[in-house]
């Protein structure tokens, strides 16, 4: 299965936030969209970072409540690991594990076209294993 197949099933909408929004604004958006991370895009829509709940918690621990008024660009990850629509979903699990990321923006021709989470990858793998099991059971039963 390719990333494009996964996006066709789950959808390609991506919740984004501008780099100048406050951390409080970020928290409001994380709650509104019920997600664990938001992609940070500039005014032209170009991907400039990603920021997660984990980033907020770690920075709050270091900097205190003053962080809530600071812009997201101060805490976002700028070295963003991305994938493309033609990448195999199975390969994402390895990259996500090695790079210790839970969310991977999908970029096609420099444009943000989706977001894949580790949960999406695991769900896809479980569905594939279930399908394989059903096919094997059917083959044995006909056998």
Q: Which domains does the chain have, with CATH numbers?
A: 3-142 (3.10.580.10)
Residue (of 84, 77, 92, 3) closest to 40 by Cα position: 77
Query: How far apart are alpha carbons 58 and 142 in whole angstroms?
Result: 56
Helix extents (H) in 11-78: 23-33, 53-63
Percentage of residues in the chain having pLDDT higher than 70: 99
Residue (of 45, 57, 58, 55) closest to 19 by Cα position: 45
- pLDDT the model gives residue 35: 93
Query: How far apart are alpha carbons 52 and 14 in whole angstroms?
Result: 14
Please give the average per-residue pLDDT across 44-71, as a whole number: 95
Query: How far apart are alpha carbons 93 and 89 in whole angstroms?
Result: 7
Helix, strand, coil percentages (3-state) for the chain, rounded to 5, are 50, 20, 25
Which pTM value belongs to this model?
A: 0.85
Query: How far apart are alpha carbons 106 and 114 in whole angstroms?
Result: 5
Burial of 67 (0-12, 13-18, 19+ CB in 10 A): middle
Residue (of 64, 4, 14) closest to 41 by Cα position: 14
Reply yes or no on whether the pLDDT at 131 is more than 80. no
On whether the CB atoms of residues 104 and 82 are closer than 8 A, the answer is: yes
* Between 76 and 137, residue with greater pLDDT: 76
Reply yes or no on whether the pLDDT at 14 is more than 90. yes
């Amino acid at each position: 299965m390719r990333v494009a197949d996964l996006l066709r099933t789950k959808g390609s909408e991506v919740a984004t936030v501008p780099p100048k929004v406050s951390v409080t604004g970020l928290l409001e958006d994380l709650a509104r969209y019920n997600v664990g991370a938001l992609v940070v895009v500039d005014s032209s829509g170009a991907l400039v970072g990603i920021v997660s709940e984990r980033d907020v918690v770690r920075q709050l621990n270091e900097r205190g409540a003053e962080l809530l008024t600071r812009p997201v660009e101060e805490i976002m990850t700028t070295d963003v690991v991305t994938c493309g629509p033609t990448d195999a979903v199975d390969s994402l699990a390895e990259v996500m594990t090695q790079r210790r990321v839970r969310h991977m923006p999908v970029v096609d021709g420099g444009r943000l076209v989706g977001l894949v989470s580790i949960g999406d990858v695991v769900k896809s793998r479980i569905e594939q294993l279930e399908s394989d099991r059903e096919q094997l059971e059917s083959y044995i039963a006909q056998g």
